[in-house]
Chain A
């Protein structure tokens, strides 16, 4: 009984900590105004439809159209399929190469590491417009350097106008995107590798674990949490991608919609294109689905993957 009253007294004595609220307020306000409100605005917009110049509530009608009407659903599934392929290429090419580069950079024997690091990271800070335009020129069958360089080493017969062929365009663009963003996994992994304490490495060397074995058995398990973060960043980035496809292939994501991903599909629906008048409500419905896909992916990662990752404290 005594202890209870004492606890109450201390609680009463403790002053209200205004500063917590004050310090949180700017972030909360800005985040709410620019992220949370628009998000709910989009969700709300997706439940309405413009009928005779006025917004009418239609429940899940737009979603039924999106999945039930073949004019929409065929394009949607095509965009989703392409988007998944876009993501797979990044996971299979960008991240392993990023890890490899980081491992090479962290090797003490390598000289000019600062130069390599910068050179590989530079494309990441370039604008999509520059990257899209530059690669369009590089791969151009008419003025591009790619056909000439390939001719130089006798591989001209392997050159095709990749960006114009239905079967190659998406893969080509994915690889361009990989080229642009490989610096990010490289930097993150590089930082993780540097944070591995020397004692662990020295202990491994005493036990005779060196070279490749050291990488696989000691370093890789220690950087797994970073690889997890990179995977989820890649996932979110890829399913929100739009700019590169738009600058390289245009809003119709040709040839024959073969490079259409969710971002370009959303753009055409929301803003319209040429004679197609934009439909903000259908656009919002697509944006909502994109949000749900990303949310599901992030949840899978948070609840299934991250909880199982073992962290090592040094």
Chain B
């Protein structure tokens, strides 16, 4: 069914494309993507906005299923039938395409100056010299809380770690709500919503992340072990049987109003807005002392690049420059609350929860997840091991120190930082 639909779609695009060209000599650009969910947003909002300003260029958004995307794209690139514009996954998957010569170097594309180095890092060569995708969106980590529950218990939004644990204690003592909705069954919740969420405050975001890549810091250093110690302290505040609680369980516990705090990624906003019957708020990961610089995980997730074999590179570059513009960012970020534009120009968003998340960019320093760039290329895979060890630390299977040592030993076995 899916493939049929896909074939029909592809067939449709090719027919439309050729007739379009025959009639008006228009140039048609095809976009490859795995975001089938966004089809209507592209068709109804983004593409018309671009076409209105650029007569003579037609754009077609042709998504494949997420699980098939990488394989399908690889096959199409090899056969020379891939679209002109390619939606980029972050880091190694896109880097590999660039190295094979499938993605063009767009470092000098007008509009790229709108992005910070952190935003561009996901689609750059390791030395940072060439960029090959325009960053489109990122997701931000933090905590979403049940405002009604906080009001009822008379709680204030915590800013420091001591306040955070005091709030958790109060919720627990009251007993109406589960203090925090998180489980360890699916492992990645513990790593992504736990470790990568609170970690940047300890390892000072980019500073620690790049030092780790350079080999100047180790995962056994205090700033990398401390977040595990905090995670271990979360255990008593999680719900009964959290060891077998899955990610959808956690989402439901929170949206049903049974839990007060949810360690979150901003991509939840869309879903939570439709499901939760109570007011929600969000706060960034608490810092140690009031007034400390805060760091947030503002993880680059999706970008767009130029197929090096495109027949219309000039028009495609025009489109990419538009993707890099604040115009695009405004439409995109409002259509998909929780997926934030990486553009340096602030984007006006309607959704209050999304506004809250994005406001942290102003007061905190942004970083990306520590394990994504370079460090997850070997065996054992650092990201996967971080999932397992984060869950182990919360379950009490491993002490924070033992977990950190295992991760560092695994990393040492294949990663030799250039010194």
Q: How far is the CB of B100 from chain A (nearest CB, A)?
A: 8
- Which residues between 365 and 399 of chain B lie within 8 Å of chain A, taking CB atoms? 371-372, 376-377, 379-384, 387-388, 391-392, 395, 397-398
B249–A140 touching, CB < 8 Å: yes
Residues in A with CB closer than 8 Å to B187 are: 250, 252, 254-255
Q: Count A/B pairs, Cβ under 8 Å.
A: 106
B388–A275 touching, CB < 8 Å: no
A273–B245 touching, CB < 8 Å: no
A254 to B239, CA, bound (A): 19
Partner of B391, one of A254, A276, A279: A254
- Which residues between 35 and 63 of chain A lie within 8 Å of chain B, taking CB atoms? 53
The contact size tier of chain B is 35 or more
B185–A164 touching, CB < 8 Å: yes
Taking the complex as formed, is A200 at the interface, i.e. its CB lies under 8 A from any CB of chain B?
no
Taking the complex as formed, is A123 at the interface, i.e. its CB lies under 8 A from any CB of chain B?
no
Taking A250-B187, A252-B187 as contacts, is the C-beta distance between A164 and B243 under 8 angstroms? yes
Taking A142-B239, A164-B184, A164-B185 as contacts, is the C-beta distance between A252 and B244 under 8 angstroms? no
A228-243: CB near B (< 8 Å → 1, else 0) gives 0000000000000000
Residues in A with CB closer than 8 Å to B243 are: 161, 163-165, 255
B371–A275 touching, CB < 8 Å: yes
Taking the complex as formed, is A256 at the interface, i.e. its CB lies under 8 A from any CB of chain B?
yes
B383–A276 touching, CB < 8 Å: yes
B172-190: CB near A (< 8 Å → 1, else 0) gives 0000000000011111100
Taking A71-B413, A141-B241, A142-B249 as contacts, is the C-beta distance between A256 and B388 under 8 angstroms? yes
Residues in A with CB closer than 8 Å to B391 are: 254-256
A163–B185 touching, CB < 8 Å: yes
B241–A71 touching, CB < 8 Å: no
Taking the complex as formed, is B355 at the interface, i.e. its CB lies under 8 A from any CB of chain A?
no
> Of residues A139, A140, A160, which shows the largest number of chain B Cβ atoms within 10 Å of its Cβ?
A140
Taking A71-B379, A164-B242, A276-B383 as contacts, is the C-beta distance between A254 and B413 under 8 angstroms? no
Nearest chain-B residue to A248 (Cβ)?
Answer: B185
Taking A164-B241, A166-B397 as contacts, is the C-beta distance between A136 and B246 under 8 angstroms? yes
- Which residues between 254 and 281 of chain A lie within 8 Å of chain B, taking CB atoms? 254-257, 268, 273-277, 279
Residues in B with CB closer than 8 Å to A136 are: 246
Taking the complex as formed, is A162 at the interface, i.e. its CB lies under 8 A from any CB of chain B?
yes
Q: 25 A-B contacts, Cβ less than 8 Å apart?
A: A53-B100, A136-B246, A140-B241, A141-B240, A141-B242, A141-B244, A142-B241, A142-B253, A161-B241, A161-B242, A161-B243, A162-B244, A163-B185, A163-B244, A164-B244, A164-B395, A252-B187, A254-B185, A254-B187, A255-B184, A256-B388, A273-B381, A274-B381, A275-B376, A275-B384
Residues of B with Cβ closer than 8 Å to A? 91-92, 100, 183-188, 239-246, 249, 253, 371-372, 376-377, 379-384, 387-388, 391-392, 395, 397-398, 410, 413-414
